[in-house]
Structure 1
Amino acid sequence: MTTFAKKGMVATSQPLAAEIGRDILKQGGNAVDAAIATAAALTVLEPTSNGMGSDAFALVWINNKLHGLNASGKSPQSISIEAVKAKGHDEMPTYGWIPVTVPGAPGAWAKLSETFGRLPFADLLAPAIRYAEEGYPISPILGDMWNRAYRRFKDTLTGAEYANWFNTFAPNGLPPQIGQMWRAPDHAQTLREIAETKAESFYRGKLAEQIAGEASRYGGFITQADLASYQPEWVDPISVNYRGYKVWEIPPNGQGIVALLGLNMLKGYTFDNPSSVERYHKQIEAMKLAFIDGKKHITDLDKMTTHIDGLLSDTYAIERRGLIGEEALTPEPGTPPQGGTVYLATADQEGNMVSFIQSNYMGFGSGIVVEGTGISLQNRGADFSLDSHHQNALAGGKKSYHTIIPGFLTKDNQAVGPFGVMGGYMQPQGHLQVIMNTIDFNLNPQAALDAPRWQWIEEKKIHVEPHFPTDIAQALARKGHQIEVALESISFGRGQIIWRDPKTGVLQGGTESRTDGHIASW
């Protein structure tokens, strides 16, 4: 059921983390403080999806203005296509030190606190430190994800560089089981150092030395100089107008623009019946076209040769919409005119709201844990291409195509609220489906999240959830879609929403039934 509250709300995928954020609000913190505390806690409470070595993005509504923070990191300066190929790789590896880029999450926490926070930074990380030291019981979805990762890693991560992952996350040779207590003392010690130095140690101190030293030992490219040069970037959010609402995303290198491309095409149609096959068919076709454009054009914003304004123009939306017919198509990129993630949402009684997302990528990320620190590193560089002609070609000092995206909704220059759906390439697809459920079909936050989902995989292949309507699936198949029923729902995203009533200020929130999610309200 949708949760209602007046003074504050925190929605995320882990109940204990949501409660931490709510407690920060009660202590006089604002929505930004609550987001930082929740994000830090999630590195302890849901390590299957994120860690201190994650990247992060945030959309912050404060003082009646929306701010964007890009806390993804660049590739090491010394890496190159030639250097990776010289190590015997024809494509970017998924695991190990090679795909590790500079982690941005600790920098994001510190920057948000410095710019908008109210409480001392160290106070915000204290609950996470306490859980890491004292331990907590493993919840059901978390336990399932942990076991899946362990089974995958034990057969594939056999090098010496992965030993610390197993020592940290599979002590005594097994992952923790559902209901079992798990502690992370190294993680606690590192969080304490991040708290005391306001993340400086992570980039320009003792922790940076440890990260770079281990990278050097195992043939990685990341250096102390790469870490020392890092700063999160304030960016201007991008948006499209969808039926009188503005839907906001972080600009590239994030893939939020994919959701906006899809919505821009779909606003040319009227959807009266939420159960109609035409609704699903057109959604799928628009998303395919949006994704294929995203994969062609998205990279580090400083390196993009395609203008965002061109991609999001009405002229281009009309051109791409014209390709949507009665049958499933195999998408091709257009030529626009030139011009394993955690999500959380917070709101306070003053009207401030935060949409925040943090991820290691593909679950536990690179499989690398820096010895003695608990720092589990992301593998965002895995999305780089080793084709020198590709827009997202690997190069030193470059940000890769990034899957994690926070979303935000406004109307008439006022905040409606934050939303997000975790899960790799499902994220823009989840954003599109949730926004349409909200605006086109007038569903409340919980219903908008609970509605059965589809997921475009490639070409004409579509996965649908086990409870997706059979008659709709059969009708889509008759239109040429290759429909496959997925046996589990976790791959279809794990999202949260908080909307604010503009007249009363009352908050209403929803959280996924597909995760251990929880809404803590006040």
Structure 2
Amino acid sequence: MVTFAKKGMVATSQPLAAEAGIEILKKGGNAIDAAIATAACLTVVEPTSNGIGSDAFALVWVKDKLHGLNASGKSPKSISIEAVKEKGYEEMPKYGWTPVTVPGAVGAWVELSKKFGRLPLTEVLKPAIEYAGKGFPISPVLGKMWSRATENFKKNLVGDEFQYWFETFAPNGKAPKIGEVWSSQGHANTLREIAETNGESFYRGSLATKMASFSKKYGGYMMEEDLASFKPEWVNPIKVNYRGYDVWEIPPNGQGLVALLALNTLKNFDLKNDNEVERYHKQIESIKLAFSDGLKYITEEQKMSVSVEELLSEQYAKSRAEQIGQTALTPAPGNPPKGGTVYLATADEEGNMVSFIQSNYMGFGSGIVIPETGISMQNRGHNFSLDPEHENHLEGNKRTYHTIIPGFLTKDDKAVGPFGVMGGFMQPQGHLQVMINTIDNRLNPQAALDGPRWQWMKGKKIKVEPQFPLHIAQELERRGHEVEIALDNTSFGRGQIIWRDANTGVLAGGTEFRTDGVVAVW
């Protein structure tokens, strides 16, 4: 059921984190403070998807203007294709220090607080510190994902550098059970130090020294100078106009461009007059074409050989639409892997709104935890290519293709609100489906999120959720799509939405059944 409120709203995948954001609003904070509090809390209460060593992106609506923040970290300056291949790798590994890039989430909290926040970080991070130190009970979806990750890591993490992950997240070799209370004093101490130093310790102080020393001990490339040189970047969000609404995303290195490419292609069709099968077919074909471009071109924007403007031109969109026929086509890109991410949306009664996303990637990330700190390091570098001819090839001091993307919707230069769907390469596919449900199908936030989803995997193969209409799946098969019905909903993203009524200021929020999420209100 859609949730309504007037004074404030926080929507995310963990009830405790959402309530932490509302608590900060009630203490006099704004939507930006609430977003930081929620994000910090999520590193504790949903460590299966993010951590203190994550990256982050944000779209922030303040005083009738949308601001973009890219807080994704770069690769260590000393890494190179040659160095990685000398270690015997033919592609970037998933685990260990090699795929670790500079974590940017803490920098995002600090930058957002400095530019738009109202309360100090010592106040904003209090809920996260308390949950880390005193503990919290494990929720159902979290417990399931935690157990699954632990079993995976038991099989794949070999080496002394991984023992601290097990000490922190699987003491005695077991994941905490659903309903069991878990705590981490290391998390609490680290978050407190971040708050008291306004993030300085993390990038240029004792926490930075601990990360760099642990990296050096186990042959990692990250050094103190990599951390010290990190700074989040304010960027101009990119958009397409889709049937009178402006849909906004963060520019590359994020993959939000993929969602915009697909929407730009789809607006060349009159979906209202199509039957259900035709609408699904065109959506799937559009996302396949969008990914074929995204996986080819997306890397750091200044290093792309084709501009965002060229890719989003009306002429190019029409040429892509012309390639869509009655049967499934085979696009160029490879096999998109799964991922793990947290998303949150916040809004306050002043009109401020935040779309924020934070992730370690592939669940717990690299499997590296800095001893006694609770800092779990991301593995974003896994997306780099070791082919020097590829646009997203590995280099030192470079941002990689990034899966996490916050979204925002406006109409007639007024905010409609923030939206997002978590889940690796599912994210632009989720954005597309949520926008179709919102704009074309005119569904409320909750219904837009609850609609049955499909996921393009590779070639002509798509997965559909267990509740996806069987007659539509069968008809898609007849059109050449290779349809697989998934056994559960875990790979189809987990999203949240907050819309604001332009006339009344009333907030309408949704979160979905695929996660432990809640819409907290005031």
TM-score of the alignment, normalized to the shorter chain, above 0.5: yes
Q: 2: CA distance between counterparts of 1:194 and 1:164?
A: 21
Q: Which runs of 4+ in 1 moved over 3 A?
A: none
| 1:327 matched residue in structure 2 | 327
Structure 1 counterpart of 2:50? 50
> Are 2:36 and 1:64 aligned?
no
Matches within 5 A, 1:153-172: 153-172=153-172
In structure 2, what residue type is equivalent to 1:416? V
Say if 2:299 is the partner of 1:299.
yes
Match of 1:399 in 2: 399
1:465 aligns to 2:462 (yes or no): no
Query: What corresponds to 2:491 in structure 1?
Result: 491
Equivalent runs, 1:126-141 vs 2, <5 Å: 126-141=126-141
The residue number in structure 2 matching 1:510 is 510
Query: Contact conserved, 1:74 with 1:101, CA < 8 A, in 2?
Result: yes
DSSP 3-state at the match of 2:491: helix
Other-structure match for 1:353: 353
Residue identity opposite 1:472 in structure 2: I
For residues 285 and 296 of structure 1, the distance between their equivalents in structure 2, rounded to whole angstroms, comes to 17
Give the C-alpha shift of residue 273 in structure 1: 6.4
292-301 vs 271-280, which moves further: 271-280
What's the CA shift string for 1:399-435, capped at 9, x where partnerless? 0000000000000000000000000000000000000
Q: Distance in 2 between matches of 1:304 and 1:198?
A: 34
- Separation in structure 1 between the aligned mates of residue 332 and residue 153 of structure 2, nearest angstrom: 35
Residue 401 of structure 1: SS of its match in structure 2? coil
Amino acid at match of 1:14: Q
Q: Deviations over 1:456-499 (max 9, x none)?
A: 00000000000000000000000000000010101100000000
The letter of the residue matching 1:455 is: Q
**Cα displacement (A) at 1:270:** 1.4
For residues 87-166 of structure 1, what are the structure 2 equivalents within 5 Å?
87-166=87-166
Q: Residue in 2 aligned with 1:337?
A: none
Which secondary structure state, in structure 2, belongs to the residue aligned with residue 305 of structure 1?
coil
Structure 2 distance, partners of 1:275, 1:95, is 45
What amino acid maps onto 1:316 in structure 2?
A: Y
Whether the 8 Å contact between 1:245 and 1:412 is mirrored in structure 2 is: yes
Q: Quote the Cα distance in structure 2 between the aligned partners of 1:292 and 1:197.
A: 44
Structure 1 partner of 2:384 = 384
Match of 1:420 in 2: 420
Match of 2:337 in 1: none
1:73–1:103 contact (8 Å) kept in structure 2? yes
Corresponding residue number in structure 2 for 1:235: 235
* Structure 1 stretches lacking a partner, 5+ long: 334-339
Q: Which range is displaced more, 106-115 or 302-311?
A: 302-311
Q: Structure 2 regions of 5+ residues with no counterpart?
A: 334-339
2:285 partner SS: helix
Q: CA 1:274 to 1:370, structure 2 compared with 1: closer, same or farther past 3 Å? A: farther
Query: Do 1:132 and 1:187's aligned partners in 2 also have CA atoms closer than 8 Å?
Result: yes
TM superposition shift of 1:275: 6.2
Distance 1:127 1:56 in 2: 20
> Residue in 2 aligned with 1:370?
370
Q: 2: distance between equivalents of 1:301 and 1:101?
A: 18
Secondary structure of residue in 2 paired with 1:504: coil
Q: Name the CA distance, whole Å, in 1 between partners of 2:2 and 2:468.
A: 21
CA–CA separation in structure 1 for the residues paired with 2:330 and 2:18: 42
| 1:3 to partner: Cα distance | 0.0
Counterpart mapping for 1:197-216 below 5 A: 197-216=197-216
Structure 1 residue identity aligned to 2:517:
G
- Structure 2 CA distance, aligned partners of 1:331 and 1:157? 34
TM-score, normalization: structure 2? 0.98
Q: Distance in 1 between matches of 2:63 and 2:94?
A: 41
* 1:255 match: 255
Q: Which residue of 1 aligns with 2:30?
A: 30
> 1:301: Cα distance to partner?
1.4
Q: Distance in 2 between matches of 1:93 and 1:497?
A: 34
**Matched residue, 2:39:** 39
**For residues 94-122 of structure 1, what are the alpha-carbon distances to aligned partners after superposition, in whole Å with 9 as ceiling and x for unaligned?**
00000000000000000000000001111
RMSD: 0.8
Distance 1:391 1:456 in 2: 23
Deviation at 1:274, TM superposition (A): 8.2
Residue 271 of structure 1, CA deviation: 1.7
Between the aligned partners of 1:132 and 1:62, the Cα distance in structure 2 is 31
How many residue pairs get aligned? The number is: 516
- Distance verdict in 2 for CA 1:301–1:29, change over 3 Å: same
C-alpha offsets along residues 62-87 of structure 1, whole Å, 9 cap, x if unaligned? 01100000000000000000000001
Q: Which residue of 1 aligns with 2:195?
A: 195
8 Å CA contact retained: 1:240, 1:312:
yes
Task: Tell me how far 1:315 sits from its aligned partner.
Answer: 0.5
Instruction: Kindly state the Cα deviation for residue 272 of structure 1 after the two structures are TM-superposed.
Output: 2.1
Matches within 5 A, 1:434-445: 434-445=434-445
The answer to whether the 8 Å contact 1:273/1:279 transfers is: no
Shift of 1:512: 1.2
CA distance in 2, matches of 1:211, 1:273: 57
SS at structure 1 position matched to 2:514 = coil
State the 1:243 CA deviation: 0.4
**Offset at residue 302 of structure 1 (A):** 2.3
1:131 and 1:364 map into 2 onto residues whose CA distance is: 19
Task: Report the alpha carbon displacement of residue 332 of structure 1 after superposing the two structures with TM.
Answer: 3.5
Distance 1:326 1:159 in 2: 52
Tell me what 1:265 maps to: 265
SS at match of 1:17: helix
* Structure 1 SS opposite 2:272: coil
Give per-residue Cα distances to partners, 1:35-74, cap 9 Å, x unaligned.
0000000000000000000000000000110000000000
How far off its partner does 1:395 sit?
0.3
Measure the CA separation in 2 of the matches of 1:301 and 1:105: 20
Percent identical? 69
Aligned to 2:4: 4
Pairwise CA distance, 1:27: 1.1
Q: What is the distance in 2 between the residues matched to 1:302 and 1:97? A: 27
Output the CA distance in 2 between the equivalents of 1:238 and 1:272.
Answer: 26
Structure 2 partner of 1:180: 180
Contact 1:238 1:248 in 2 (8 A): yes
CA contact (8 A) 1:77 1:226 kept: yes
Aligned 8 A contact 1:274 1:441 in 2 = no
Residue aligned with 1:499, SS:
strand
